[in-house]
Structure 1
Amino acid sequence: MKKLGTVMMLMMLVVASSFTSKTNAVHETKIEADIVDLAISQDFLSTLVAAVKAGDLVDVLKGDGPFTVFAPTNDAFAKLPAGTVENLLKPENKAQLVKILTYHVVPGKVMSKDLSNGQMAKTVQGSSVKVTIMDGKVMIDKANVTEADIEADNGVVHVIDSVIMPSM
């Protein structure tokens, strides 16, 4: 049984490694995992995973969904002012962290083909993000979508190159 689990994990990693945060490609990729396990399988999303854990949102994002997640890369988090991530991960800042993370989640499964220029999408946090489509590139607020339509068992992930922030 342990060997089967190891083989399944290796297969998931091979499939998941078929996408990268360094392209502007828009294509559908189906991953046999929920959104959290998909993120865990990608080294470039490790800061997001740490934030989701600190915000106690793992069980929510492992739920039935469906969810659309705009997933900032480690490089996206690194663009924030020095000390911001560390400060947000402190227990006393959990409410602010949750507000930021839930701003990256839209209820339902929204594929790139469902997006239109100027569209406003209401987030789980309560505010809306703005979709901009220009020259074939998609932006969510001011973040570029670098990889789109990565389907998980309970939704879809669009990788973005910046952390988007709600009004505080």
Structure 2
Amino acid sequence: MLMKRKKFIKNILLLIPAFMLMLLNSCKHDDLQITKENENLRLGADFIRNNYDMTLFYAAIQKAGMADVLNGQGPFTILVPSNSAFQQLGITKPSDFDKMNSDSLKGMIQRHVLTQRLLFSDIPVNGVDIRYQTLAGTEVYASLAGYIPGNSQYPANNLYFNGSSVTRKDVNIANGIIQVINKVMKYTPRSTVQDWLASRPQYSIFVSGLKKFGLWSQLNTTGPFTVFAPQNNVFEAQNITAASIMALDTAVYSGRRLFGGYIINKKHYFISDINVFYIINSEPAYVGHITGDSWYQVVSTTRDYFTADVTYSMNLRTPINYPYDNYPGAAGLLPALTDNLTDNGLVHDIQGLLLLPVQALK
């Protein structure tokens, strides 16, 4: 009896492969295909439309008629400002874009789209201001503060595009990659630092001071320049007006300190660059001479752990080493007002004065 049972089980086991083969043949479809790579991913504009934190950027895409382009073949890297990035600029709802010129919006969106698929790992570690082409034909500057030399075990991996922090890296879409940034990148095409300041009345007192002390015309030259610009209300809080500046005697006051202290010549600094150099070179601050003067400019930065916002403080100092006079200076605590890119440099709003006239006596 036992022998018969073993023989029966053996015959059943021999039949199983044949049964499975018959089953597979019965299920065969000539048109069955393997799922293609990226087939289940959404295209760029479709992904943005369906992401809650990108609704304001999608509203701009719609207004500019760019949805079909961003759903195109690519490959693209779309640098998507989050909703909070637009809110910093006072844009809080989709209808706010209705007040804007659609061609200007189109240019802004094109400048947020790279003409290649750029992963975080593609960017040189500790690279500063690496340039990449955009759909607008312009360039963006990428900086990756990876780690302090000799301490690669704990990388910072802070990535920036035109001074905007990447807060969400390498989001896959069907036609490329999305990198989410915490600020709208600001660039004024075919302009200089001088053009940028002249077209904004809120900086007119600062402009008056630059003109008074012969510092204005240089801002229309090749540069590059990094300028820290106080608005009119900052001067007015100290009872300083355009008229009072025009009344200053250039033989008595040092214009290089009073207004030249706001200009870093021959340097192209996003605020984030100073933070990058702090990480990769252990440089706690930018320190440099005021052009044509013995005093120093000192700029240091702070990166917020939660928001990735980079803010800065700036002051003037007499000798670089102690003993020295260290003036209180001012700060740039509004990231939305920094990193205004032009063709010959950058302008950063600063919410205070570096020196008062009485401190700039020769």
TM more than 0.5? yes
Ranked by relative contact order (alpha carbons within 8 Å, sequence separation 6 or more), the top structure is 1
Would you tell me which structure has more strand in proportion to its own residues?
1
2: CA distance, partners of 1:73 / 1:155: 18
Secondary structure of 1:89 counterpart: helix
> Matched residue pairs, number?
138
Which aligned pairs between 1:87-106 and structure 2 lie closer than 5 A?
88-90=97-99, 93-106=101-114
User: Residue deviations 1:33-60, cap 9 Å, x none?
Assistant: 1111111121110001100000000000
Indicate the residue corresponding to 2:44 in structure 1. 35
**Residue-by-residue CA offset, 1:120-153 (whole Å, 9 max, x unaligned):** 1111112211111123110001110001111111
Unmatched 5+ stretches in structure 1: 1-29
1:143 aligns with 2:143: no
Which stretches in structure 2 are left out of the alignment for 5+ residues? 1-38, 146-155, 190-362
**What RMSD in Å do the two structures reach over aligned CA positions?**
2.2
Give the TM-score normalised by structure 2. Answer: 0.36
Offset at residue 86 of structure 1 (A): 5.6
Query: 1:70 and 1:89 mapped to 2: Cα distance?
Result: 22
TM-score, L = length of structure 1? 0.75
Q: Could you tell me the percent identity over the aligned residues?
A: 24
**What is the deviation of 1:89?**
3.4
Superposition deviation, residue 81 in structure 1: 4.4
Which secondary structure state, in structure 2, belongs to the residue aligned with residue 163 of structure 1?
coil
| Runs of 4+ with >6 A deviation | none
Matches within 5 A, 1:15-26: none
**Matches of 1:126 and 1:87, distance apart in 2:** 27
Identify the match of residue 182 of structure 2 among 130, 148, 161. Answer: 161
Letter matched to residue 109 of structure 1:
R
Q: Structure 1 residue aligned with 2:74, among 65, 70, 74?
A: 65
Instruction: Assess, with a 3 A threshold, how the Cα gap between structure 1 residues 44 and 82 changes in structure 2: closer, same or farther.
Output: closer
Residues 57, 82 of structure 1: CA spacing in aligned structure 2 closer, same or farther, 3 A cutoff?
closer
Q: Is the 8 A contact 1:31 1:150 kept in 2?
A: no
8 Å Cα contact 2:59-2:97 kept in structure 1? no
Separation in structure 2 between the aligned mates of residue 143 and residue 164 of structure 1, nearest angstrom: 7
Is the 1:147–1:158 contact (alpha carbons within 8 Å) kept by the matching residues of 2?
A: yes
